[in-house]
Amino acid sequence: MKDRYSNINETGSIYDKKSTEIKDENPFQNTRRELYQDELNDNEESENRSEERNKENKRPLYSEPAYSSEYREAMQKMKSMSREFDEIKKGQELELSKMLEQKRQFEIQRQKKLEEEAELQESIEELELKEKEIELNQLKASKLKMEMEAIRKDDECVNKNLKILRLRRCELLERIQLKKTSLETETEEKVKKPEPKIESGISKQDHVFVGKPFVPAFDGKNFEDWKIEVECLVKSKMYPEPLLTQGIRASLKGNTRRRLQSLNPSATSAELLEKLEEVYGSLKESDALMQDFYSSKQNPSESASDWGVRVENVFQKLVRKGEIDTSQRNTILKRKFWRGLYRDKLREAMRVSHESTDTFEILRKKTRKEEEEMDSDSKVVSQNETEHSSKVHQPIRTIQNTKESKLDTVLNRMEALEREIQELRRDKSQGVKDRGGFFRGRSRFRGGRGEYRGRGRDGRDESQRRENKREPLKEKVDKQKQEQTNQEKSDKKEQLNE
């Protein structure tokens, strides 16, 4: 850079020489030269400054100036602190490395625990499935037991029916045998002695006159029962028509006889019954009777025999109305009687008889027997329960009586002791009076301040104190008595629960 500027300076000097030569020729060129010279001077100054800066930059970085002792001590402290910090840093790095190792170990353990948890969850699910399978098997087993129990009961019923049928067969065979033997004996006797022919006293056209017919009295109540009695008499054909009409009229009582005043005196028994049917007969139509028949059931307080009679009566009314055919009597009555039974156990016991070829009468008879057996069993069970309860309650009563007797004796003793204490107090108070307990002279023993203070103010206070001491005893006795009664009640409840 210096050489270059030096050349320029030289040229400048040359230019200056030329300029001096041409100075007089062009004045504007002189100003231009001056400006150029100023620029060159500025450039030289800038170069000098840059060289000085370079020199300063080329100085050594770590020079050893003359420091003071304080500065050196501070530097040593700083170095020692830096060493301590380095050691702390190393320790922290070691701790961090240890913590990272522990974290890694914890993560490994956590992973293992998670795997164990997953395995345990799977095993728990498997066990739950097995438990559900076991419960299902138990339910199936219980259902099978119930089915087996039902089958066993059916077998028992079938065996009972088989026994009954066998007995009936034996009875029938015996009857047949007896009839055969009786026929054989009769034939032998007829062969030996011919019997005379006896003409029957009753013919189809003649009637047997057995006095006056007995017709039960009718006062307007229970018309159906009375009507059945009269119809039986009419169908028997044992009495002539005039006697029947006379008996019907004679059986009517009170206002019922006035109902027949509008009829002719020569009216037949059928006309009389028709007139009474219009007045006293049931107003229910056939549909209502059918509904009553199929909706009726045995009452809890009604026996099986009464239930059978009620069903049969309603069925007979329907037959009279023409709603049911008599050929279906057995099946309808059996079904209605069996379904309307109140007890479930009785119905289950009679299922086989209902499904067999037994008639309605046989089914009703069997249900009566079964009902009597059930009632007898229930009576035996109730008697056993009462005996057991009496045996259970007997020791409770004895324990209670003994405890009450002990309490009574304790209370009696307490009362006797209180009486003795009161008598002693009275005797002592009387002795103090005799000695002049209320003398207030200058003697040594003054009345109001002696050991026995008489019945003055102080004596009353002392008696009041003693009575106050006695009251807690009464309270304790009452509390003990209450606790004993509560304990007895709890014992009773426990024994009853057992």
How would residue 305 be classed by pLDDT, with cut points 50, 70 and 90? confident
472 token code pair: 């807690």
User: What's the rounded mean pLDDT across residues 229-236?
Assistant: 83
Q: Is 280:222 a contact under the CB 8 Å cutoff?
A: no
Using alpha carbons only, give the angle 474, 479, 485 rounded to the nearest 5 degrees.
Answer: 130
Instruction: Report the C-alpha gap between 140 and 144 in whole angstroms.
Output: 6
Residue 198, pLDDT above cutoff 50: no
For domain 209-281, the CATH class is mainly alpha
Closest by CA to 462, choosing from 414, 421, 409, 412, is 421
Instruction: Report the C-alpha gap between 271 and 244 in whole angstroms.
Output: 12
Per-residue pLDDT tens for 14-49? 444 444 444 444 555 556 667 777 777 777 777 777
pLDDT, greater one: 492 or 79 = 79
Per-residue pLDDT tens for 325-364? 777 888 888 888 888 888 888 888 888 888 888 888 888 8
* Dihedral sign, Cα of residue 227, residue 230, residue 236, residue 241: negative
pTM over 0.85: no
Closest by CA to 480, choosing from 404, 417, 391, is 404
Residue 310, pLDDT above cutoff 80: yes
How would residue 137 be classed by pLDDT, with cut points 50, 70 and 90? confident
Q: Which helix (H) or strand (E) holds 230?
A: helix 223-236
Q: Which helix (H) or strand (E) holds 491?
A: helix 457-497
Q: What percent of the chain stands above pLDDT 70?
A: 67
Instruction: Report the C-alpha gap between 219 and 482 in whole angstroms.
Output: 69
Q: Is 304 exposed, middle or buried (0-12, 13-18, 19+ CB in 10 A)?
A: buried
Instruction: Report the C-alpha gap between 104 and 110 in whole angstroms.
Output: 10
304 token code pair: 């099986």
Predicted pLDDT of residue 124: 92
Closest by CA to 369, choosing from 298, 309, 297, 303, is 303
Per-residue pLDDT tens for 53-74? 766 665 554 444 555 788 888 8
C-alpha torsion 234→239→243→245, nearest 10: 10
Predicted pLDDT of residue 474: 61
* Dihedral sign, Cα of residue 258, residue 262, residue 265, residue 269: negative
Mean pLDDT of the chain: 73
Q: Which helix (H) or strand (E) holds 278?
A: helix 269-280
How would residue 101 be classed by pLDDT, with cut points 50, 70 and 90? very high
How would residue 383 be classed by pLDDT, with cut points 50, 70 and 90? low
